[in-house]
Amino acid sequence: MALRLGTVRVARDERAACLRDDGRVVLLPTALGDTLDIISRGPECVAELRAIVERSSDALALSDVHVLAPLRRFKRDVLCTGWNYWDHFYESEGKREGQDVPKPVAPTFFTKGPATAIAPNAPIAFDANVSSKWDYEAEIVVVIGVRGRSVPQAHALDHVWGYCLANDVSQRDLQRRHGGQWLKGKSIDATMPFGPWIVHRDDVAIGALQFECELNGTTMQRASVNDMAFAIPELISELSFGMTIEAGDVLLTGTPSGIGNARTPPVFLADGDRVVVRGGVLGELDNRLVATDLSAYCKGDF
């Protein structure tokens, strides 16, 4: 049975939970904490989780819960990788509005704000006043499970808890406006579908995994993890070189070719568009863009 860890809402309560192979949901004991607490407990917690799921006799139907983003707390910004598929790097040449760079010889890393993360079926907050160039990016996500620094490639996967999906919705004009760096153009609130469940590394044949992005019923991106320019062990090793990675860190591993900005003519997202990201055992994200006023001043809780 694959171990799929996530977060659900039941009535008004948020609970860490696991999705069984039969499609039913097992609520985890509250004593274990939330998903960040569980992942931070280390590899020794995995056997305990599997035992809880296997012996549970009161699993809920998936329709009886509301699936949220699998992590609801983050220790830091979401870690990201750019240009990790060469076909994507080359498709955008000459379309970066004067901000082209030489082909990278090492992974390109950046971060985005954790307030971007939304549930796998939640509306993507679309505001044409914030940006006129909204783009999709299907990505495989690595969730770190063991703290480490300067991790050798040979041991990198030992630091992975599991994998899930993300749609790194991007605002291309904001990327260009702010010097070509990506923080601002990737950090708009409520724009990154994430999940639906974190599947344990032992239950994912990650090298053979294929994934795709569909926009309004048309396939726009399709790739295999094997197509990455820098494989996941190399990403972890390079990222952790002299820098501590923590249990619960979220690392997006890059998007393949087919983005809207690189098409002729460009294809940008609009209110009402439906974007679906699929990834085999990792499941599916299914989100619509919904007009939202993100440009209004907001103070305090929202």
Name the token pair of 90.
């080359």
CA atoms lying within 13 Å on the CB side of residue 243: 11
Residues 56, 91, single domain; the answer is no
Q: Is residue 205 part of a domain?
A: yes
Q: Which residue has the tokens 């990154």?
A: 192
Same domain, 18 and 144: no
Closest CA to 8 of 89, 56, 71, 87: 71
Same domain, 10 and 36: yes
String of DSSP letters for 239-298: HHTTS-B-TT-EEE----S--GGGSSS-----TT-EEEEE-GGG-EEEEEEEE---SS--
Query: How far is Cα 124 from Cα 192, in angstroms, rounded to an integer?
Result: 7
Whether the Cβ atoms of residue 248 and residue 71 lie closer than 8 Å to each other: yes
99: helix, coil or strand? Answer: coil
Give domain status of residue 142, yes or no.
Answer: yes
**Residue 41: inside a domain, yes or no?**
yes
Residues 49 and 163 in one domain: no
Q: Are residues 61 and 113 in the same domain?
A: no
For the CA atoms of the chain, what is the radius of gyration? 19
In a domain? residue 25: yes
Phi, psi of 36 (to 5 degrees): -65, -40
Domain boundary among 45, 67, 89: 67
User: Same structural domain for residues 89 and 118?
Assistant: yes
- Report the chain (302 residues): mean pLDDT per 10 consecutive residues: 97 96 97 98 94 94 98 98 94 70 92 98 98 98 98 98 98 88 94 98 97 98 98 98 98 98 97 98 98 93 70
pLDDT at 98: 58
* Number of structural domains found in the chain: 2
Question: Does one domain contain both 193 and 231?
Answer: yes
Q: What size, in residues, is the chain? A: 302
Same domain, 128 and 224: yes
Query: Is 154 domain-assigned?
Result: yes
Q: What Cα–Cα distance (Å) separates residue 208 from each residue in 3, 178, 205, 211, 223?
A: 19, 37, 6, 10, 10
Q: Look up tokens 């703290």; give the residue.
A: 147
Domain that holds residue 21: 4-67
CB atoms within 10 A of CB 189: 17
Q: What's residue 93's pLDDT?
A: 78
> Would you say residue 72 lies in a domain?
no
Both 143 and 214 in a single domain?
yes
Measured CA to CA in angstroms, residue 38 lies from 60, 198, 301 at distances of: 20, 12, 27
Would you state the pLDDT for residue 96?
67
Q: Is residue 296 part of a domain?
A: no
Domain endpoint, select from 28, 44, 67 = 67
**Residue found by looking up tokens 């035992």 in the block:** 51
Global pTM reads 0.97
Q: Answer yes or no: is 134 within a domain.
A: yes
What's phi and psi for 177, nearest 5 deg? -60, -35
- Pairing type for strands 66-67 and 4-10 reads antiparallel
Which of 44, 67, 90 is at the close of a domain? 67
State both tokens at 162. 């599991």
Q: For strands 284-291 and 124-126, give the pairing.
A: parallel
96 and 221 co-located in one domain: yes
- Say if residue 22 is in the same domain as residue 136: no
User: Looking at residue 226, which CATH number applies to its domain?
Assistant: 3.90.850.10
Q: Is 51 helix (H, G, I), strand (E, B) or coil?
A: helix
Residue 87 shares a structural domain with residue 190: yes
